[in-house]
Amino acid sequence: MDDKLMEMKKEYDNIPIPEELDFVVRQAIKQGMNQQIKNKKNHKNCLKNLLQE
């Protein structure tokens, strides 16, 4: 059983990863972080407006 599992792990580890994947992942993370910053600013502005009323 262990031999089969080790063979499957080797096959999994040898799956080729496209070179552009790293770029796409980094761009998605950057976009998500920018969106979080934008949302945080919007929430602060909403709270500020509510408190001023």
What is the Cα–Cα distance from 53 to 47, expressed in whole angstroms? Answer: 10
- Split at pLDDT 50, 70, 90, the class of 53 is low
pLDDT tens per residue, range 19-51: 899 999 999 999 999 998 888 877 777 777 777
Joined together, the tokens standing for residue 32 give 């998500």
3-class secondary structure per residue, 1-53: CHHHHHHHHHHHHCCCCCCHHHHHHHHHHHHHHHHHHHHHHHHHHHHHHHHHC
